[in-house]
Amino acid sequence: MNGGSGTGMVDFFHGFQVAIMMTLMFNLAQFIYWTCKNRRTGTCLEVHGPTFMVLASAILVNIQPIWILVIGSFKLCCAECATVKVTSGCPANGLSYPPWSGGEARECSSGGNVFWDISYCSGQKYAIFPTQASGWAIQIICTWGGYLLMFAGVVQATALHKKLGAKWHAVRRGQQASIPR
């Protein structure tokens, strides 16, 4: 996160992930909007209910990648002053964010950040899964919840559940008709 080999590439791909996720999710929201507008009738909520679900999904799914991009861009991992190479002005609690170019401390209140504990601030561990409860809550509620909303919105907008049901019944009727008695 704050050092180690390949840090520039990690920072680049955090930004690239945000760009791709935002593009895909908001284009999906546009697709659902036009699909609902052209195929559904009724009140605004009846027509665009799936659109609202997919739009909420797009926002929720992008929360974690954007937050990680901000943490990585501004080096927001609070650690002991020695770990983040603070050369002057270490706060009384002994914790600081990595310094900007002058080497001066940037005070913080508790170790780590919203996703990872203090042991990840040296950049020597791969921060793949959150180690903080708040990070897991963000991942489960926002990311996974967002994908569930996306699935439900797409199924409703495209009437996929009705199409699959009709196909299932057609196949079942065909099988029953061809069974010799």
Could you report the per-residue pLDDT of 89-131, keeping only the tens digit for each?
899 999 999 888 777 889 898 889 999 999 988 878 887 889 9
**What are the structure tokens assigned to 99, written together?**
């310094």
More confident residue, 163 or 176: 163
Residue 126 DSSP symbol = -
Q: How many domains does the chain have?
A: 1
Confidence bin at 6 (pLDDT 50/70/90):
low
C-beta separation of 127 from 120 below 8 A: yes
For 46-81, what is each residue's pLDDT tens digit? Answer: 999 999 999 999 999 999 999 999 998 898 999 999
27 in a structural domain? yes
Q: Tell me which residue range forms the domain holding 38.
A: 7-73+132-178
87 within some domain:
no
* Structural domain includes residue 121: no
Domain-located, residue 46: yes
Task: Look at residue 102 and tell me if it is in a domain.
Answer: no
Q: Which of 21, 14, 17 is nearest to 150 (CA)?
A: 21
What local confidence, expressed as pLDDT, does residue 123 receive? 78
Q: Identify residue 121 by its one-letter amino acid code.
A: C
Residues in CB range of 63: below 8 A, 6 or more apart: 138, 142, 143, 146
Q: 18-31 pLDDT, tens per residue?
A: 999 999 999 999 99
Q: How far is CA 11 from the centre of its chain?
A: 16
pLDDT for res 3: 52
Q: Is the pLDDT of residue 177 over 70?
A: no
Look at residue 179 and tell me whether its pLDDT is greater than 50.
no
pLDDT of residue 178: 44
Q: Is residue 142 part of a domain?
A: yes
- Predicted pLDDT at 144: 97
Residues 138-164: tens digit of each pLDDT: 999 999 999 999 999 999 999 998 888
16 domain-assigned? yes
Q: First vs last Cα of the chain: how many Å apart?
A: 69
- Reported as half-sphere exposure (CB side, CA atoms, 13 A), residue 14 has a value of 22
* pLDDT at site 181: 35
Name the nearest CA neighbour of 7 among 124, 87, 95.
124
Least Cα distance to 61 among 175, 126, 148 occurs for 148
Please state, in angstroms and rounded to a whole number, the distance separating the CA atoms of residues 71 and 142: 17
Can you tell me which residue has the tokens 């797409």? 154
CA–CA distance, 77 with 97 (Å, rounded to integer): 6
Q: Is residue 147 part of a domain?
A: yes
